[in-house]
Amino acid sequence: MQRRDLLKNSSLLALAGGVTAIAAKSRGGGSPKPDNQPASNSYTKLSPLPVPATGEIPAAFVLGKDAEVLDFCGPLEVFASAVTKDGKPLFHPYMVASTKEPVTVGGGMKVLPDYAFANAPVPKVIVIPAMDMSGNGPDMYDWIRTASKSTDVTMSVCNGAFVLAKTGLLSGKSATAHHGGYFRFAATYPDVKLKRGARFVDEGNLASAGGISSGIDLALHVVERYVGRDLTLDVASAMEYQGQGWLNADSNDAYAKLPDFNETHPICPVCLSDGDRSIKSDYKDKTFYFCSKDEKDFFEKHTDIFEKFLAEDRARSPKLSK
């Protein structure tokens, strides 16, 4: 399945990574401290999390068909690199799926889960990537729902938000997703407060990241909640990761506003991918082009979402760069 198809379809999305044990990396030397370090912003809460005295924090990565690789491998690299103040590994990552049979994730890579949902250890952190949801059985949703009762953080990455929302755990809470999934997510889960333009959203023990690479920032944010900023800066430095989205969850403004829909470069208003000039619909004296008939039909059924987004854009426009 092509990445474009994965990201534009609500019936999929999530990322999984099957890798074996990754040795915790030694901390690098001095890490440069960013000049601007916002203490807080509208989509995040930096409430400290306790590091257990008994050992490493179990972090479960949920695998599903066509899971987006960076969705899970990005956070996996962060968690596998994080250490305590004593230099010990902070996390114990493992992969979990419906069975222990290999799971084919993005790019055709096959991942061997460490556990099935039926016998997986109780996690303190859960990472849910974008995936093809058509093959998910109730065991995945039941496991996430049950395990999240005792997690420090259950986090989705990219359109893994669809998986997390389907459990019902996000009902009445705020969340974000890949910008190409905003329209469908808002229409499918109206009881979730969608935050367009958020790099990530922290709701305590539930969190969600924006598209793909945003998962690295949310993972760094989670590490910071456990061990503080200095040790987290060491992780970012060791990875040579120069992104600072983890310091400011409001930093995805580029995706907070609908694009300009025009004839020169048709864009599908549902998934924001390239539109097909042969698939079009007129709405309020304007012609819109869609990437597929399914997206066209979905738009016509949910023009209320489009109007809602336009109203949000008008209210937000003074705060956004042009």
| Adjacent-strand bridge partners of 97 | 116
* pLDDT single digits (tens) 194-207: 999 999 999 989 99
**pLDDT-derived band at 319, boundaries 50, 70, 90:** low
* pLDDT single digits (tens) 126-164: 999 999 999 899 999 999 999 999 999 999 999 999 999
Where are the chain's structural domains?
3-254, 257-319
For domain 3-254, the question of CATH label 1.10.3720.10 is answered with: no
What is the reported pTM? 0.88
Amino acid letter, 231: L
* pLDDT single digits (tens) 92-135: 999 999 999 999 999 999 999 999 999 999 999 999 999 999 98
Cβ-based neighbours of 237, under 8 Å, separated by 6 or more: 28, 29, 31, 32
